[in-house]
Structure 1
């Protein structure tokens, strides 16, 4: 029976080298595979600053923080409502009062009408002309629901494109639940009926950033110079593996 005659220090070096190689490989495998078993829940509120006028000396983020603090504070109002003043008004009735003139003895007094009112015809006013009020606050431009890409990569929930009062636009993901994966990104592409990675690359897309969580509700800013196309699809895309996880056609 032959013995391993490799010097101990050489065997030790080989073991250390194997560990050095294995650790990054294991870390990479964990980074790529762990999202499949771990859910990330993110519940962002709809931006309150979207419905506010941002002062010149403040940012939207500062306004958002102040409004969130105010919304979480339940402070009763101490001021009482002012009493309404009661004003007694008297108007002339428009009726005529008789003027009795004294007559000589033995004659009946003469009664004359003063300021006799001529009869007038009242024309009822026509219906008021009302214009539809201009929309204030966020306006939904398009919406759709997430659909499964295949039997393994699945998604559900609502996607809405909003235009805010200041003209900016956001994508709002509402109550989504998506198969988790490594480095998922939110993309917008100008097509419907997306047929996979090659179709996405051919159509082109704009990247709104990394998916904040595979469960919950989130907001994503749309670039100011992005022109909304006639057909628009939101895509949740796995960057390392170039795989479409779920899509939502907005209309």
Structure 2
């Protein structure tokens, strides 16, 4: 069988190459998933409770990230149990570790286990709206200083109206601020959506059960993060609609005042 060399790592055989490519796909998928999840948490309104952090520690014991997938939790438990069960492992501390594994599995499996606090839509909308309005005000002040500088050097009335028109184009300013605040978030969402499409395509290939399960777990994890991200994106859109309405009322009035003074 031919040798293959990818990224400096030497792999032997078509089966090994396939595993290498799939694992690299999963690693890249996990990196994007982590990036989106981090951004989601930045937009969430509620701090994590002590109970939530304790549940997350149980996931760490099982060696997996927090997930609502019961099968993933069960598989992680079985894998850890095979590794640390006293009948199998003779290493020191295996019995104590097995107790922690059992405790973690019991806690996570409990119907009362809540490891992800739900988003308070109203509070989140207000927080995102305020963040947007604050940045918009900074952008407007920046544009105003540029506007004053241009007024000092204009030489014709047409040029004057052009400068005023540019400054009072608040829709362009809104777009600029929106891209600054949420552009990376939405771009990362699209990357995760594309990654899931790649994973779905890979799952249609001739794969063994082990690789198929790996891809399925990665897809399910991404889908869970995407659900959270889409919920945040809906909240963002609501907040932007509220903020834009307020901006339009103020800016429209101020633009009329500016043009009245130019008459």
Q: TM-score, normalized by length of structure 2?
A: 0.22
Q: Which of the two has higher C-alpha Rg?
A: 1
Q: TM-score, normalized by length of structure 1?
A: 0.23
Structure number with higher strand proportion: 1
